[in-house]
Amino acid sequence: MYKSFFGKKNKELVSLLLCSMLLAGCADLDISLDSSAKGKDDSKTASTEETSEEEKDKDKNKDSGKDAASKDDSSESDESVAEASKVEDEDAKTEELNIFADFPEMFYFSSGAGGWATEIVIDEDGSFTGSYYDYDMGDTGDGYPDGTLYICDFTGQFSDPEATDKDYIYKTKLLDLVLLDEDKIGTQEIIDDTLYVYTDPYGFEGADEFIIYAPGADLSEMSDECLSWTFMSLDIFEQVPVDYYVLYNVNAEDAFNGICDDSIWNRSYRCTNGDAYVNFSPSYYMGSYFSFFPDDDSPASLSLSLPWDGSSSETMECKENWKTDGETYNVTIEKKDDETYIITVEGISDTTFDFSEWGGTEPGKFSGVFVLQE
């Protein structure tokens, strides 16, 4: 049996079977090796992909950091610009509201009668110096035959002005008031035949809030008490005239008046024709005057009262001064420059007045160039 089983043919079959088994084993080995290599490659690829993703994330985070930093820088820059703009706006507003810089050189509080007044000089920063005096020559006695002088010198500080809801009207507060001879208040002494009485400054009683009325402010916004201390003609003006300021102590109901030094109200103008001349005298108090003189030795041949507001070039109807039934005329004032005005006159009720002596060429009509008098 054994011999027959391992015959020639059977040996060939066994050989073939062994070869097949060897080939199958090699194939399995190749597959295993390929799978292992593929696993390694897949792992390497995955690792590479993960590394790439991490690098992308890092780059993304880095870019996000840059963007955030850029945004922060931009935000800080915007805030700096906004803050600078805010400061500039505040400075501009302060400059705009600093009407102290436009104030007249001096303000005065007075009734216009008697020898008393309180005068103050206000600097651009709101600080001021002042003096109150009341000279009573009739109040004499032993050792002071020249009368009695009530006096007080002082300094002080106003706050920055603030705008109100009314045009050309502002408010400020008294921050400080220092009496230079405070230790002498209530005492008196005789100096050079005059009795000096040291007292508090009139016009600053209970001082706290002050109202500033600048040129253009409606007079209807002023209280009767305030108006009573001003010198503006209420028959002429509806607003505070050019170059005129009012500083009103609300608690004491006292008003200080100020006129700019170079104001039209402090000037006079003249038109000449030979010996004859015409005077033009602007005034905010009783109205401006317009008078025709034949020469220096003669009274005015014609004098008109002009209800002029200091700037208007509209024609005004004017009446003769000092006459209850005086003639009426139309008058127009046109500004040529700060030192020159052109004024025309035309009769209304009297169309025949002879203006030829002053250069008029037609009855009832006159036109002349008026030059500032130094």
Between CA 326 and CA 50 the distance in angstroms is 111
Same domain, 93 and 201: no
d(CA 285, CA 147): 31
Asked if residue 211 belongs to a domain, the reply is yes
Of 349, 341, 351, the C-alpha closest to 372 is: 341
**Can you name the residues that pair with 11 across neighbouring β-strands?**
none
- What integer pLDDT is reported at residue 84 of this predicted model? 53
Q: Does 290 lie in the same domain as 162?
A: no
Decide: residue 82, CB within 10 A, 0-12 exposed, 13-18 middle, 19+ buried. exposed
Q: Is residue 38 part of a domain?
A: no
- ∠ CA 219-95-238, rounded to 5°: 10
186 lies in the same domain as 282: no
Same domain? For 273 and 200 the reply is no
pLDDT above 90: percentage of residues in the chain: 69
- The 10s digit of each residue's pLDDT in 271-297 is 999 999 999 999 999 889 999 999 999
Q: Which secondary structure element, helix H or strand E, spans residue 24, and what is its range?
A: helix 8-97
Contact 84, 76 (CB under 8 A): no
Report the alpha-carbon distance of residue 117 to residue 106 in Å, rounded. 12
Percent of the chain whose predicted confidence (pLDDT) is above 70: 74
Domain boundary among 259, 280, 304: 259
Q: Are residues 136 and 156 in the same domain?
A: yes
Residue 7 lies in a domain: no
Query: Based on the domain organization, do 240 and 364 belong to the same domain?
Result: no
**Where do the DSSP E strands lie in the chain?**
107-109, 116-122, 127-136, 148-158, 162-163, 169-179, 188-191, 194-198, 209-213, 244-249, 254-259, 269-273, 276-281, 288-293, 302-306, 316-320, 328-337, 340-347, 365-372
Cβ-contact 163, 95 below 8 angstroms:
no
What 8-state DSSP symbol labels residue 163?
E
Amino acid letter, residue 348: I
pLDDT per residue as tens digits for the range 313-323: 999 999 998 88
Instruction: For residue range 194-241, list pLDDT tens digits in order.
Output: 999 999 999 999 999 999 999 999 999 999 999 999 999 999 999 999
Q: Are residues 218 and 177 in the same domain?
A: yes
Domain co-membership, 140 together with 251? yes
Domain boundary, last residue among 73, 97, 121 = 97
Q: Is residue 310 part of a domain?
A: yes
- Residues with Cβ < 8 Å from 325, sequence gap 6 or more? none
CA distance 270 to 291: 10
Phi, psi of 229 (to 5 degrees): -100, 0
If asked whether residues 248 and 271 sit together in one domain, one would say no
| Separation between Cα atoms, residue 241 and residue 88, nearest integer Å | 32
233 and 311 in a common domain = no
Which sign does the torsion angle of CA 84, 87, 89, 95 carry?
A: negative
pLDDT of residue 97: 64
pLDDT at site 150 = 97
Query: Looking at residues 179-193, what average pLDDT do you find?
Result: 95
Residue 140, in any domain of the structure: yes
Name which of 148, 162, 155 is nearest 181 in CA terms. Answer: 155
Quick one: 107 and 93 in the same domain? Answer: no
**pLDDT tens sequence across 11-66:** 443 343 333 443 444 444 344 434 444 444 454 444 444 445 555 554 545 555 55
Q: Does some domain include residue 77?
A: yes
- What is the mean predicted confidence (pLDDT) over 104-133? 95
State which of 97, 127, 153 marks the end of a domain.
97
In this predicted model, what pLDDT tens digit does every residue of 331-368 receive, in sequence order?
999 999 989 999 999 999 999 999 999 999 999 999 99
Question: Is 1 inside a domain boundary?
Answer: no
Q: Domain range spanning residue 168?
A: 103-259
Per-residue model confidence (pLDDT) at position 148? 97
* In the predicted structure, residue 144 carries a pLDDT above the cut 50: yes
Give the pTM.
0.73
Q: What is the mean pLDDT of the chain?
A: 83
**Spatial separation of the C-alpha atoms in residues 131 and 136, rounded to whole Å:** 16
| Number of domains, the chain | 3
Same domain, 107 and 90: no
Asked if residue 274 belongs to a domain, the reply is yes
> Please, what is the Cα angle at 72 between 66 and 78, to 5 degrees?
135
